[in-house]
Amino acid sequence: MRNIKFIGIIPARYASTRFPGKPLADMNGKTMIERVYEQVKNTVDAVYVATDDERIKTAVTAFGGKVVMTSPNHKSGTDRCYEAYLKAGSDCDIIINIQGDEPFIHPSQIETLKTCFDDVNTEIATLVKPFEAEGDFESTLFNPNSPKVVLNKKNEAMYFSRSVIPYLRGKEYTQWLHYHTYYKHIGLYAYRANVLKEITQLPQSPLELAESLEQLRWLENGYRIKVGITHQETIGIDTPEDMQKALDFLKTQK
């Protein structure tokens, strides 16, 4: 059997309600999109930024990165990812959808995701991180912007939710993290090429519309999502305030 080849696609949009121009935001002399690119470029066989904006294309080209122009009409990063894969003309077997606003993504997280495909039955893969037992449950476990995941014994996702799942009956909710391992979803996906093609053609599903979580569409349609477990923390940047926190974190890395 030939070796599996992986391509990384980093969707990047200029327009953002909360943080316009986010991919080009300066992070100590480098744009955020460049920092993401550098973190992952040595973990895959090829990596491309997928964008619909000429300013992002110019910036990526300037630091020597590869970029693919995609339609401005995509409703999700998954759709943009598939168009970029087609336009890149890649012969890679697995496409990894890498968040463009995660400049501290760790190479080991990409490697963990890749090992999910050691199982020939894996169709889609993603990552989770256990919530810390000593964490602030109000800002972590009960945060609807931090989706939770329930796994089966095969390390496959059973369900994703913005609510806390499972509910621990008979336990004080402030102590739930001490009695059960809860998993936080890390928004990093990998798909076999034929599966990515199929899921981009699926209509939105009831559970997806209810929770505003695209991955529920895949589960509702019978796809299995293999889950890798990481203990590395990442910092997603959605707002200028998040960027300031990221810059403060960057100072500690020197």
Same fold for the pair 1-105 and 123-186+197-233: yes
Give this prediction's pTM: 0.92
pLDDT tens-digit series, residues 167-188: 999 999 888 999 999 999 998 9
Token pair 């893969």 is found at: 125
Q: Tell me which fold the domain 1-105 belongs to.
A: Spore Coat Polysaccharide Biosynthesis Protein SpsA; Chain A (3.90.550)
CA distance 254 to 250: 7
CATH 3.90.550.10, domain 123-186+197-233, yes or no: yes
The mean of the pLDDT values for the chain is 92
Asked whether the predicted pLDDT for residue 1 surpasses 70, the reply is: no
Domain range summary for the chain, segments of one domain joined by +: 1-105, 123-186+197-233
Mean pLDDT of 114-137: 91
What tokens does 240 get?
């200028």
Residue 194 DSSP SS3 = helix
pLDDT tens-digit series, residues 29-42: 999 999 999 999 99
Q: Answer for the pair 38, 110: CB distance below 8 angstroms, yes or no.
A: no
